Structure formats: structure tokens, C-alpha cells
């Protein structure tokens, strides 16, 4: 019995680690590039200018999640906030959106992200199951431990109804939560 337990222990530990998302995947790798460029206000991943208003500018992002529809960087001059918003999916089918939302959460939850000076942080967020009647579901991931500028940085996974369509957004935002919500909503 003891030898069976000792034989199965490494398998169980490996399954637990991979089940929690503590490994590299393409979603996590793309997000890591975005987070690493946050201190420079996304200068290294900023593409062409899309639109400019009085106090904000929208740019195409050169980093997107695999299969995503669009990626945008939004810079505001008045508040000096910077945000990255990625439209991952847009569909009329709630069940499809719910499944993709859960899959992305699984890829990001407890992921290790390397930030400046090879320091590692963990993405930590509490899953909330989307319900069609609710029209809006959000998971906020914090970067733990939060140090320096990374303290105010949040990664948000959002499922929202927009007319008859369901959208999944992944955002990397700093600053005030009210301003962040408005920033994410102005992505489109």
C-alpha cells in the first residue's frame, strides 16, 4: 500500500499543478507580454492609432489572445491611466460564451506571470459562474504579491450582454474601478 501511494504521489501533484493553471499556455503567454509592458504604458505593444478624443487615444494592440477578435490599448491623458482591452469572443449563443469564459478562467487562474527583474506574481481571482439572466459577469484577478506599480494593476475577465450578442473581454487596467469600467466599455 505504501509503495502505491509513493508511486501515485508525483502523478497527483502534477495533475494538481496542471489543473490549477500554473503552467505556460498561449493565453497566459500573451497576457504576460501585456503585463510586462504596463510600466511603459504599453509603448512596446502599441500599434496604429485607431481614434483620438480630447483626453484619450485608442491604438491597436500588437499582442492579442489566440483567436481574439481585437485588441486595443487605451491611453488617457487627463488621468494618466493606461488600459489594454481584448475582445475575445462575440456570439449570439450564451452557452458558447459561458464555456469560453470558463476555459479562459481556467487558463489564467493561478498562472505565474514574470514581471520586471524576473519577479514572479500569481494571477488570483474567484470564479463566478455566468448566468444568462444576469447579463454581466466579471472576475477580477489580482497580481500577488502586488509590489510597486503592479499593486494598482488588475486583470479582468468579463462576460457581458451587448444587445443580442454576448461578449467576452479580457482587460488589463490600472486606477479607479469606476474609470476602469468606463474605459473597458469604450473599447468598442
Q: What is the pLDDT of residues 171-186, one digit of tens each?
A: 999 865 454 444 444 4
For position 176, what pLDDT does the model report? Answer: 56
Domain-located, residue 15: no
Q: What is the pLDDT of residues 12-38, one digit of tens each?
A: 333 333 334 444 588 889 999 999 999
Tell me the mean pLDDT in the region 139-161: 87
- Please report which confidence band the pLDDT of residue 151 belongs to, taking 50, 70 and 90 as the band edges: confident
- State yes or no: pLDDT of 40 exceeds 50: yes
For position 60, what pLDDT does the model report? Answer: 96
For position 145, what pLDDT does the model report? Answer: 83
Q: What is the pLDDT of residues 73-120, one digit of tens each?
A: 999 887 778 999 999 999 999 999 999 999 999 999 999 998 877 788
Please name the residue ranges forming H helices in 67-176: 94-108
For position 187, what pLDDT does the model report? Answer: 47
Cα–Cα distance list, 92 to 31, 70, 73, 103, 171 (Å): 26, 18, 26, 18, 21
For position 24, what pLDDT does the model report? Answer: 53
Q: What is the domain range of residue 31?
A: 21-185
Domain-located, residue 8: no
Question: What is the total count of domains within the chain?
Answer: 1
Global pTM reads 0.79
The dihedral through the CA atoms of 78, 82, 86, 91 has a sign that is: negative
Q: How far apart are CA 115 and CA 8, in angstroms?
A: 34
Domain-located, residue 9: no
Domain-located, residue 3: no
Domain-located, residue 6: no
Domain-located, residue 167: yes
Domain-located, residue 11: no
For position 128, what pLDDT does the model report? Answer: 95
Domain-located, residue 141: yes
Amino acid at each position: 500500500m505504501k509503495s502505491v501511494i509513493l508511486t501515485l504521489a508525483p502523478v497527483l501533484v502534477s495533475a494538481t499543478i496542471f489543473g490549477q493553471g500554473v503552467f505556460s499556455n498561449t493565453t497566459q503567454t500573451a497576457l504576460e507580454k501585456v503585463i510586462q509592458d504596463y510600466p511603459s504604458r504599453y509603448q512596446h505593444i502599441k500599434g496604429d492609432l485607431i481614434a483620438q478624443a480630447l483626453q484619450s487615444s485608442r491604438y491597436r494592440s500588437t499582442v492579442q489572445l489566440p483567436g481574439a477578435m481585437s485588441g486595443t490599448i487605451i491611453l488617457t491623458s487627463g488621468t494618466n491611466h493606461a488600459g489594454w482591452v481584448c475582445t475575445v469572443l462575440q456570439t449570439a449563443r450564451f452557452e458558447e460564451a459561458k464555456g469560453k469564459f470558463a476555459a479562459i478562467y481556467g487558463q489564467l487562474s493561478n498562472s505565474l506571470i514574470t514581471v520586471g527583474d524576473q519577479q514572479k506574481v500569481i494571477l488570483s481571482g474567484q470564479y463566478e459562474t455566468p448566468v444568462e439572466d444576469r447579463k454581466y459577469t466579471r472576475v477580477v484577478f489580482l497580481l500577488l504579491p502586488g509590489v510597486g506599480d503592479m499593486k494598482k494593476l488588475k486583470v479582468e475577465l468579463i462576460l457581458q450582454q451587448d444587445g443580442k450578442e454576448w461578449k467576452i473581454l479580457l482587460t488589463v487596467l490600472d486606477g479607479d474601478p469606476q474609470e476602469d469600467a468606463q474605459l473597458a466599455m469604450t473599447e468598442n
